[in-house]
Amino acid sequence: MIPQYALHHTPSNYPNPSAYNPDRYLQHPGLATEYAASSDFANRDHYTYGAGRRICAGIHLAERTQWRMLARLLWAFRIEHAVDAEGNRNEIDTEAYEEKLITGPKAFRVRFTPRSEAHVRVIEREMEGARGLLRKWE
């Protein structure tokens, strides 16, 4: 097992590792497979897909699928803090993690708002097409 959490929270690899700072990845513009295949372990941007003989066999598919899904979500929706019944914003605790074998964030609430009615029509059209494809597995 690779100590993923420890590697991602080592100050020598990630200065101020608990701070939200996407800029720390700017020096790694390539795909995960480029860095995963490198013999220079210090040149890795992350260890999410494992390493060595235990690296994820689907790394190529996983990374490209995640990119497409995230791009589509950002295109279609504004992602905002959820609000309670009184209209107060629900804060997200960025330090709240599940204590499990594979660490992940604890559940939190957000609000997805379609960017426009035109976006809603595209989403509905695409969903109708997907229903036909997925029907055979119902």
Residue 58 confidence class, pLDDT cut points 50, 70, 90 = very high
Q: Indicate whether 63 belongs to any domain.
A: no
Question: Looking at the structure, do residues 52 and 85 belong to the same domain, yes or no?
Answer: no
Higher pLDDT, 40 or 120: 120
State mean pLDDT over 41-50: 78
Does residue 1 register a pLDDT over 90? no
Say if 127 falls within a structural domain. yes
Instruction: Please write the tens of the pLDDT for every residue from 93-121.
Output: 988 988 877 778 899 999 999 999 999 99
Q: Residue 82 falls within a domain, yes or no? A: yes
Is residue 42 predicted with pLDDT exceeding 80? no
* 81 plus 131 within the same structural domain: yes
Q: How many domains does the chain have?
A: 2
Q: Is residue 67 part of a domain?
A: no
Give the Cα separation of 73 and 76 in Å (integer): 5
pTM of the model: 0.72
Q: Is residue 89 part of a domain?
A: yes
Range of the domain at 2: 1-57
Q: What is the mean pLDDT of residues 35-43?
A: 77
The b/e string for 106-138 (b: 16+ C-beta within 10 A; e otherwise) is eeeeeeeeeeeeeeeeeeeeeeeeeeeeeeeee
49/91 same-domain check? no
